[in-house]
Amino acid sequence: RVEASLALFWWSGKRMMEDAHDRSVVTCMACLARLEGGDARREHYRSDWHRVNLKRKVAGLVPLSYDGYTSKLQQLEAEKAAASQQS
């Protein structure tokens, strides 16, 4: 887990250095997502995906990609539907 965190830190730091020249691009440190433009930033920072990754960051976990996040949501919804059918 530590190695994965270090790899993500190195990757995000490298991306931030590349983006430093382009002021319209910001990297979210909780999600490691590149955000271009003010509207994209506002939308991202208000998203449930960002909130989940903030909680994961506080817990010392690696962030979920957007695809990983949506996959987890679908899995939880399927489990919830199956549980409601059994009741």
C-alpha distance across the termini of the chain, in Å: 38
| Residues 29/35, Cβ–Cβ less than 8 Å | no
Structure confidence by residue, pLDDT tens digits, 14-72: 555 555 556 678 899 999 999 998 899 999 999 999 999 999 999 999 999 999 999 99
pTM for this predicted structure: 0.70
Residue-level pLDDT at 25: 87
